[in-house]
Structure 1
């Protein structure tokens, strides 16, 4: 009887810890994807030229600040574009100072393991 109580207590503790982590993860506050509890925000990239278009990429699969930082960092590595990523809206707003095909941005995002579900905006 005592062994059953011990097993039940251990299971309750494990379930509590798992639920606590799941709730943080679903809120986008957890340290999934290799991040810790405190994730540094990726700095914005400044463009020096004239903005010729702005496009919004809707992205599935981002769960935390670490995910959005990966997307932002990857897009910002490309010459002639600058991204701002909104985790809550699950989107990246990309400003272009050079004519770069949207498929290039889409491929970069999808190579990270995320899915671009839509792309729209001013051309």
Structure 2
């Protein structure tokens, strides 16, 4: 009888953990310190005309909080503005002046995400 109770409790714990993991990997989780009340990071306005647009493919973003962290890090750099697409796992970065792509890559990778590729749009 005791074994049956322990097994039932373990099954309940496994089911609940699986549901949480599934939500996390679908981008609906509350990782990175967020919760269900995630606020979308506002877009940054560039001070000059757009002179270049690059697409950074990023590995490791699982939820809106991850996406917001990356967007904030890129938007802190003068001369660039980022729009992130969590489903495509990419950042579309517009430049109003010459900024080295390695600077943006460093800003992303210091957050423990991985830049897979950089493509000119």
Listed one character per residue, the Cα deviations across residues 38-90 of structure 1 (whole Å, up to 9, x for unaligned) are 21110111113110000000000111111000000000011110000111000
Q: Aligned equivalents of 2:25 and 2:101: distance in 1?
A: 29
Q: Is the aligned partner of 1:72 residue 2:71?
A: yes
Per the alignment, residue 94 of structure 2 pairs with 95
Q: Report deviation, 1:37.
A: 2.1
TM-score, normalization by structure 2: 0.96
Listed one character per residue, the Cα deviations across residues 10-52 of structure 1 (whole Å, up to 9, x for unaligned) are 1111011101101101111001121112211101111131100
Per the alignment, residue 30 of structure 1 pairs with 29
TM-score, normalization by structure 1: 0.95
Per the alignment, residue 11 of structure 2 pairs with 12
Q: Which runs of 5+ in 1 are unaligned?
A: none
Per the alignment, residue 86 of structure 1 pairs with 85
Q: Is the aligned partner of 1:51 residue 2:14?
A: no
Runs of 4+ in 1 over 3 A off after TM superposition: none
